[in-house]
Amino acid sequence: MPLEPGLTGHVELTVTDDDTAIAARSGDVPVLATPRIVALCEEAAIAAIDDHIPKRETSVGMRVQLDHVAPVAVGDTVTADAKVDKVEGHRVVFSVSVNDDRGLVAAGKVLRVIVDRDRFKERCS
């Protein structure tokens, strides 16, 4: 199946102490950290397209725009969903959202770029 708008990805997380703002050093309260929410959104985006790109290629993060609107306590479960909105050459734009049993936790956009895995790694040397 080709890489095209409409593809979706979904991941779940039960929040632990390792996922909190304290652990991520992004705050001093024991709630789900914004950086961990960003990682969940990226994970859902990857899940949406991973089976739709050649194995020699991968996607890398380029931009994240996110509104984090509600706290989540340790022990609660969240789901992250990503939907491909647009494919522009090697750039893929996703709508992302994170929810818990009370509703919306975060929402935004993720931009990932499809790259040749080996050439990308060479650029790091």
The full set of domain ranges for the chain reads: 8-123
Region for residue 86 given its phi and psi (left: phi exceeds 0; alpha: psi -120 to 50; beta: otherwise)? beta
- Residue 33 and residue 27 in contact, taking contact as beta carbons nearer than 8 Å: yes
The closest of 74, 80, 61, 66 to 21, measured between CA atoms, is 74
Tens of pLDDT, residue by residue over 47-70, are 999 999 999 999 999 999 999 999
Residue showing tokens 């960003």: 38
pLDDT of residue 100: 98
Pick one of 3.40.710.10, 3.80.10.10, 3.30.70.980, 3.10.129.10 as the CATH number of 8-123.
Answer: 3.10.129.10
* Collapsed DSSP state (helix, strand, coil) of residue 75: coil
Contacts of residue 117, defined as CB under 8 A and 6 or more positions apart, other chains included, come to: 56, 57, 58
- Residue 24 and residue 32 in contact, taking contact as beta carbons nearer than 8 Å: no
- pLDDT at residue 1 tops 80: no
- pLDDT at residue 111 tops 80: yes
